[in-house]
Amino acid sequence: EDQVTQSPEALRLQEGESSSLNCSYTVSGLRGLFWYRQDPGKGPEFLFTLYSAGEEKEKERLKATLTKKESFLHITAPKPEDSATYLCAVQQNSWGKFQFGAGTQVVVTP
Amino acid sequence: EAGVTQFPSHSVIEKGQTVTLRCDPISGHDNLYWYRRVMGKEIKFLLHFVKESKQDESGMPNNRFLAERTGGTYSTLKVQPAELEDSGVYFCASSLLGGKGTGELFFGEGSRLTVL
């Protein structure tokens, strides 16, 4: 059965303390792996799409990487405004459903 | 450009009552998805429309849930009769049809359903 597992469940960081979130997946025929950010009371907000192993994407303090079995979201020198739940999701074909992981809740303290 | 809008933002009903959630996708987005998050668990797929047709409804929990998409525009999700375990946040998302754009989903802010 297809699975998406995120770790850790929660992460508490000091401002400036870099860290990485993990998303491991087992799915046949991956079309894309997506990272989203979700703030309390809001819907998920798109961050990145990764399509093939070795691909990397960057946006401000965030960098996402992809291997054949997992993806990492690196947060470099985080700020309090980076506090959110980070979700990864996989899609098997260009029109199909997205399967989400449970998310990693990140809290960045000043 | 307007994003995905959902209504109501919060609904509180009693067990056995009926609730209808509405989603207006981004204009021009043929894909429309319903997802829900129950009790802090992961966001789970309910169903997928392509235009007005149901492409995949494998995630619909039972026949108390009915989704429609009139003319390929807005969609409604009706729960009748509601049960306690239906409580959660229902998200609608839309995207461009396959191969166009980067394929990401654009989410609404969700409709929180509380069944008492």
3-state secondary structure chain B: CCCCEEECCEEEECCCCCEEEEEECCCCCCEEEEEEECCCCCCEEEEEEECCEEEECCCCCCCCEEEEEHHHCCEEEEECCCCHHHCEEEEEEEECCCCCCCCCCEECCCEEEEEC
B69 belongs to a structural domain: yes
Taking CA–CA distances from B105, the nearest residue in chain A reads A46
C-alpha A62/C-alpha A85 separation (Å) is 14
| Residue B98 confidence (pLDDT) above 70 | no
Structural domain including B9 reads: 5-96+108-115
Q: What single-letter DSSP state applies at residue A93?
A: S
B101 belongs to a structural domain: no
Residue B83 structure tokens: 């049960």
Q: How much is the pLDDT for B7?
A: 97
Task: For residues B43-51, give the mean pLDDT.
Answer: 93
Instruction: Give the closest of B45, B48, B56 to A99, CB-based.
Output: B45
Long-range contacts of B49-55 (CB under 8 A, 24+ apart): B49/B75, B50/A95, B50/B97, B55/A95
C-alpha B42/C-alpha A4 separation (Å) is 10
Residue B69 structure tokens: 């998409």
B103 belongs to a structural domain: no
Q: Tens of pLDDT along A35-60?
A: 999 999 999 999 999 989 999 999 99
List chain B residues with CB under 8 Å of A95. Answer: 31, 48, 50, 55, 97-98
Determine how many CB atoms are found less than 10 A away from the CB of residue B63.
Answer: 7
Task: Decide if B51 contacts B114 (C-beta within 8 A).
Answer: no
Residue A105 near chain B (CB below 8 Å): no
B53 belongs to a structural domain: yes
Number of domains within chain B: 1
Token pair 């850790």 is at which residue?
Answer: A8
Q: What single-letter DSSP state applies at residue A91?
A: E
B61 belongs to a structural domain: yes
User: Distance from A110 to chain B by nearest Cα, in Å?
Assistant: 27
B102 belongs to a structural domain: no
- Reported as a pLDDT band with limits 50, 70 and 90, residue A94 is low
- Reported as a pLDDT band with limits 50, 70 and 90, residue A95 is low
Q: Which amino acid is at A4?
A: V
Q: How much is the pLDDT for A27?
A: 83
Domains (ranges, CATH) in chain A? 3-93 (2.60.40.10)
Q: Tens of pLDDT along A56-69?
A: 999 999 999 999 89
Q: Say if the Cβ atoms of B43 and A41 lie within 8 Å.
A: no
CATH code of the domain containing B31: 2.60.40.10
Q: Say if the Cβ atoms of A102 and B41 lie within 8 Å.
A: yes
B73 belongs to a structural domain: yes
Q: How much is the pLDDT for B8?
A: 97
Burial B82-96 (b: 16+ CB within 10 A, else e): beeebbbbbbbbbbb
